[in-house]
Structure 1
Amino acid sequence: MLPIIDIPTIQYVVQEAVDSGIEDILIISGKGKRAIEDHFDRNVELESRLEEKEDLLWFNEMRRLADMANVHFVRQKEANGLGDAIYYARHHVGNEPFAVLLGDTIMDSVIPVTQQLMDTYEQYGGSVIAVEEVPANKVNRYGIVGGTSLSDSILELSTLVEKPAIDKAPSNLAIAGRYVLTPEIFNTIEQTPKGKNNEIQLTDSLLLLLKRENIFAHHIEGKRHDIGDKLDYLKTTVEFALKRKEFAEPFRKFLVDILNK
Structure 2
Amino acid sequence: MRKSVTKAIFPVAGLGTRFLPATKSVPKEIMTLVDRPLIQYAIDEARAAGIKEFIFVTSRGKSALEDYFDNAPELESTLRKKGKTDLLDELKSTNMDSGAIAYIRQHRALGLGHAVWCARRLVHNEPFAVILPDDVIAAEKPCLQQMVETHAETGGCMVAAMEVPADKASSYGIIDVKEDKGSVVSVQGLVEKPAADEAPSNLAVIGRYILTPQIMRNLNKIKSGSGGEIQLTDAIDAEMREGRDVYGYRFRGQRFDCGSKAGFLQATVAFGLARPDLQGEFDTYLRELMSMQQAAQ
TM-score (norm 1): 0.96
Q: Look up the match of 2:52.
A: 23
Q: Distance in 1 between matches of 2:95 and 2:226?
A: 38
Which of the numbers 253, 259, 267 marks the counterpart of 1:222? 253
Q: Look up the match of 1:46.
A: 75
Which of the numbers 189, 192, 209 marks the counterpart of 1:159? 189
Q: Within the alignment, does 1:195 sit opposite 2:200 as a pair?
A: no
Q: Which amino acid aligns with 2:253?
A: G
Q: Within the alignment, does 1:126 sit opposite 2:156 as a pair?
A: yes
Mapping of residues 1-261 of structure 1, within 5 Å: 1-67=30-96, 70-212=100-242, 213-261=244-292
User: Alpha-carbon deviations, 1:206-259, whole Å to 9, x = none?
Assistant: 111222211111111111111001111101000111011121111111111111
CA apart distance, 1:68:
7.1
Q: Distance in 1 between matches of 2:97 and 2:47?
A: 7
CA apart distance, 1:13:
0.3
User: Alpha-carbon deviations, 1:44-64, whole Å to 9, x = none?
Assistant: 122112212222122111222
Change (3 A) 1:68 1:235: farther
Can you give the 5+ residue segments of structure 1 that lack an aligned partner in the other structure?
A: none
Q: Distance in 1 between matches of 2:192 and 2:96?
A: 38
SS in 1 for 2:93: helix
Would the aligned equivalents of 1:18 and 1:68 in 2 still touch at CA under 8 Å? no
CA apart distance, 1:67:
4.3
Q: Which amino acid aligns with 2:197?
A: D
Would the aligned equivalents of 1:129 and 1:217 in 2 still touch at CA under 8 Å? yes
Q: Distance in 2 between matches of 1:250 and 1:45?
A: 33
TM-score (norm 2): 0.85
| Cα RMSD after superposing both structures | 1.4
Identity %: 37
Q: Distance in 2 between matches of 1:235 and 1:107?
A: 12
Q: Which amino acid aligns with 1:245?
A: P
- Count of equivalent residues: 261
Q: Distance in 2 between matches of 1:87 and 1:211?
A: 20
Change (3 A) 1:228 1:87: same
